[in-house]
Structure 1
């Protein structure tokens, strides 16, 4: 199926989820996860109207950005090694996986002076050992400490839920992340407006939208 048709299906599902949760569908951004697809398929997504492109690996992402970079907004959504920051920092508008001070330090070092990098702090809400991210308890102290890195703007929180057949089972994890985001927002930290939630993938994005996701990361349901 073409990306255009798939996009229409995803948009319809978002609209339905927003109606159920009394939200505006315009507040939900679709990030097309293109890590397993070609440059041509990524181009098809952009031409179909997808604005946000998500990549998990610096090398693959840079190859696509070098061909298509001017046509979209680029998100780094995978585990980011500090040594890779230098080669990708200029290309990606958002980093979804900030989870340690050593990475924050490198982002600060490599971001051009006077600029800010939009970052999501990754939270391992489920506590699964296979997933990266801070624990819920570690998140607020970590974000407070980020105030010393002037190049970092904490625009929100990100999580990856457990992969299960019934998406309803992961609703508590998404709800917990939303509650944590709201707690941080109430602190009114200048460096951490924390107004966004990056959560939900192809198997569970409708539940994530119902629980407040503003960025959903959709791969197989959109680009294959």
Structure 2
């Protein structure tokens, strides 16, 4: 793994738009990762990939995790993001190898923190997450996964086992030259505070969330 995550040259950065800046050990409550820091020159965002073990090149267990301050840091029950991040980190440690790419600039499906909070306020008044974004003049989903594919390519990854319930992530990786060998569900037990949000993701954004059928009694 050490050889694969050495310092990038400027030629590679110019070719992909992403430049590897730093590689630092990151001990966590889940295990000891390598935090590989990147600069996305296309969008101006700082990005990080948490790499565990000798990842190899094929069928690498991978999570593309969209930044979510409210869920990841504050433990919001409005979404399942924080639990998904923790589950993904545990999964790659259990696997013995894997990657979690933490995607900055993806807050609120790409509309930013303040936009997300505005959308949440509208949802509290009865709109669903799709209606709220549209009412504010935002796209339903503004995220771009090219930088994730560039990071995976830099790490030497040819194919992944993708931890996601969102078919758009698979399509984006394939479109950017990363083969998806398997889609691994990342299902989190819903709660009363996020069931409407999750149902909207399933019904209006085609997320694969079959476990919601078990809580059909919640309105």
TM-score (norm 1): 0.31
Please state which structure has a larger fraction of its residues in helix. 1
**Rg comparison, structure with higher value:** 2
Please state which structure has a larger fraction of its residues in strand. 2
TM-score (norm 2): 0.31
